[in-house]
Amino acid sequence: MTNENMMKGPAGTGLLLVSAVVLVASFAYAMSNLMSQGHASLNTSSTLPWGQPIATYLYFALASSGLGLIASLPLVFGFKQFYPIVKRCIFLAFIILISGMAVLAMELGHVFRMLWVIPFNMQIQSAMFWMGVFYVADLVFLLWKFRKMDDGEWDSKTSIQVGIGSFLAVLLASGNLALVFGMMSMRPFWFDGLLPIYFYLTAVASGLAALVFFTYLAHGFSQERMSAPLRALLAGSLPKLFAAVLGGTLLFIAVRAITGLYTNNPEIYYVWKDYLFASPAYQASLWLGIVLPFVIMLMASLRKQPPVQIAVSILVFGGLFAERYFFVVGGQIVPLFKGTWEWNLVQYTPSITEWSLTIMGSALLFTLYVLGEKRLNLSAMPPMGAESTSAAASGTQPAAAGS
Amino acid sequence: MAKWGMVIDLDKCTGCQACATACAMENNTLPGESWQDVLFYHEGQYPSAQMKWLPRPCMQCENPSCVHVCPTRATYKDMDAGGIVFVDWNKCIGCKYCMIACPYGVRFYADEKPLLEPDLRDVFPGSNGQLWSPPYQNSEQDWKRGIGVQPAGVVSKCTFCYHKVGKAPAGTADLDEDIPELKEYVPACVRTCAPKARFFGDLDNPGSQVNRLIGDKHGVRLKDHTGNRPQVYYLGAGADVPAFQPKPRS
């Protein structure tokens, strides 16, 4: 159904132009500020060293991981009803990760030095070292897997092995990314051995949001332009999975909030009480970006409707971006080791340069996405009857890896 | 090789901040880049409120979490240099993970908004790769150990004045500014301390004055529960920082 892809036509060209202009403008603005003022153009400081650029990277990296995990449903676990989205999933995972890495690169003090000091010094004790290793492995596997599909190899032995390798890489990458924060006992708001589970859940939620949005965008926000298996998926398993991971996300937020508000530890308690729940932006992102989409997706009649799915994906985009932002900043907002010398939580709002980095990453994502839709056949799926896929979507056909 | 340690006697410390000033002058740090700081805080309420202060250098931990997290080994603990934790500015990529991991908040990324105006980086623009180039600089520069004026985009921290300490005669038990032949090797904050609240010596030497003080006066290490095991010990009452408490809403 690639001839139904809106991105291949003038609409795609228009979006490509707008995205490219925004990308160039935001990059130029951020770069000029960073070159002229250095990191003084950011509102981060020695008391709060990680700000919105890190949150943006985290958001993109986890959305990519979520897409990688969704892609493993048909490729590793044999849920064939997900075949219609798997190629787009893998492509999106790749470009979202590239976009996140671009934002991170702009935030680092010496990005090019990183290319040689990390491999030559092999600091295997550092979770950040492994973050680099696993995300590079993730990128390589995503590319490899995409290449296999592009060559029409969906069920070959190598293809399955690459799929399993990719699944393991994405689990390690996002789980380890959680531990970059979760192993920091000196930052009690983050310190949590179960953080990888929370990251897996929210990664899949943000991945689904990206997948639903970009799938609809490719088809002009109309299900009529979609193939029958894709329509079946959007009416069947996918919204149910979306509801389930949103529910899991809410559960995690709830238990973290309850323990946070119960504890006497000021580095957790005050983060929840005086920062997160005191912030209208956090409240809005929680209720409108996670709770409301969850409630909507619980309703069988609503969750199948295209406008509802599109709206939910946009709300979850915003909700989970805010979740990442407040997570990253929340871990640093209580002044560290200052006692009563500091009366207030550390004040931080992102600077215009930091916003321009977030916009740059998003514009890069859109630019690469349209290019991909134009140049590649992202709707491709293995040759199988639409009827059998519909049957699989309804859960009546057992499916196994490689079968 | 010695294991250099510092002892700070809070019963003697007057909170005069001469240590902080001497450190800034010795190491050419920017305002806010407080390798050696004095925290001021209060506890209790009128009429029995207490005004307290706590001098705070880098703790040069025995088990430093900043070293564990650094993805490039830019931050390292040099056992051949008395166990001092250094930052190799040629390897630091400015990821700031060490600043996240340090429980004591004693690492600095000077490439940030200035604490005070005018911005000294504009007044004395950097040259030869330096973030800023003040007219009077310590001639000692060793970027592999984070000594001197740092370049942009790296993390900086207290080095226990290794450019002085590292030249002390081998086998020295204590670096005491009152011993004329040793005073040039004494860290700036110790040497300048008017009430003589600071002591510097070899923690591996059972006969050193620092070890005697720690033993006799019940020396403690801050935030010992983190397991970082600082090489800086505190003596006297109030060797702690109270927990954060927001300003009461009136």
* CB-CB contact of B42 with B234 (8 Å): no
Q: What is the pLDDT of residue A392?
A: 47
Backbone angles phi, psi at B84, to 5 degrees: -80, 145
Please tell me the distance in Å from A333's CA to the nearest CA on chain B.
Answer: 11
Contact at CB, A113 and B41, closer than 8 angstroms:
no
Bridge partner residues of B56 (DSSP) = B37
- What distance in Å separates the CA atoms of residue B209 and residue B195, rounded to the nearest whole number? 17
Contact assignment for A185 to B226 by CB distance below 8 Å: yes
Task: Please tell me which of the candidates B65, B72, B223 has its beta carbon nearest to residue A117.
Answer: B72
Total-model pTM: 0.93
Q: What confidence category does residue A84 fall into, taking pLDDT thresholds of 50, 70 and 90?
A: very high
Cross-chain residue pair B41–A340, CB shorter than 8 Å = yes
CB contacts < 8 A (A, B): 151
Partner B contacted by A38 (CB < 8 A): yes
Averaged pLDDT for residues A31-46: 94
Using an 8 Å CB-CB cutoff, list chain B residues near A43. 113
Give, in degrees to the nearest 5, the angle at Cα A368 between A366 and A369: 60
Query: A-chain residues within 8 Å CB-CB of B130?
Result: none
Between chains, do A336 and B103 touch, taking CB under 8 Å as contact?
yes
Q: Which long-range contacts (CB under 8 A, 24 or more apart) does A16-22 make?
A: A16/A367, A16/A370, A16/A371, A16/A374, A19/A363, A19/A366, A19/A367, A19/A370, A20/A363, A20/A367, A22/A359, A22/A363, A22/A366
Question: B74 contacts in A (CB within 8 Å)?
Answer: 117
Put simply, whether A31 touches B (Cβ < 8 Å) is no
User: What is the pLDDT at residue A384?
Assistant: 64
User: What CA–CA distance (Å, rounded) separates A58 from B106?
Assistant: 26
The predicted pLDDT at position A257 comes to: 97
- Minimal Cβ distance to B95: which of A128, A270, A337: A128
Q: What does the pLDDT average to over B21-39?
A: 94
Q: Tell me what pLDDT residue B250 has.
A: 63
pLDDT tens-digit readout, A134-166: 999 999 999 999 999 988 888 888 988 999 999
A2-337+360-377 topology per CATH:
Formate dehydrogenase/DMSO reductase fold (1.20.1630)
A126 shares contact with chain B (CB less than 8 Å):
yes
| Residues linked to residue B125 through DSSP beta bridges, in sequence order | B132
Domains in chain B, ordered, with CATH? 4-38+52-235 (3.30.70.20)
What ipTM, to 2 d.p.? 0.93
Q: Give the residue among A367, A350, A245 at the shortest CA–CA distance from A297.
A: A245
CB contact under 8 A, B111 and A111: no
Residue found under tokens 């979006």: A15
Q: Which residues of A touch B153 (CB under 8 A)?
A: 38-39, 108-110
Residue A386 pLDDT > 50: no
Does residue A136 belong to the interface with chain B, where contact is any CB pair within 8 Å? no
Domain segments of chain A as ranges: 2-337+360-377
pLDDT at B42: 84
d(CA B35, CA B161) in angstroms, rounded, equals 11
Q: Please judge whether B111 and A38 are an interchain contact, meaning their C-beta atoms are less than 8 angstroms apart.
A: yes
Q: Which helix (H) or strand (E) holds A208?
A: helix A195-218
| B78 bridge partner residues | B84
Q: Which residue of chain A is at minimal alpha-carbon distance from B41?
A: A341
Share of chain A above pLDDT 70, in %: 94
Q: Are B237 and B52 in contact (CB under 8 A)?
A: no
Contact state of B226 with A186 under an 8 Å Cβ cutoff: yes
Q: Looking at residues A211-218, what average pLDDT do you find?
A: 95
Of the candidates B128, B124, B135, the residue with the CA atom closest to the CA atom of residue B151:
B128
Judging contacts by C-beta atoms under 8 Å, the chain B residues touching residue A339 are: 39, 41, 54, 241-244
Residues in chain B: 250
- Indicate if the pLDDT at residue A385 is higher than 90: no
Beta-bridge mates of residue B108: B156
Q: Spell out which residues of chain B touch residue A345, defining contact as CB-CB under 8 Å.
A: 246
pLDDT band, residue B242 (cuts 50/70/90): confident
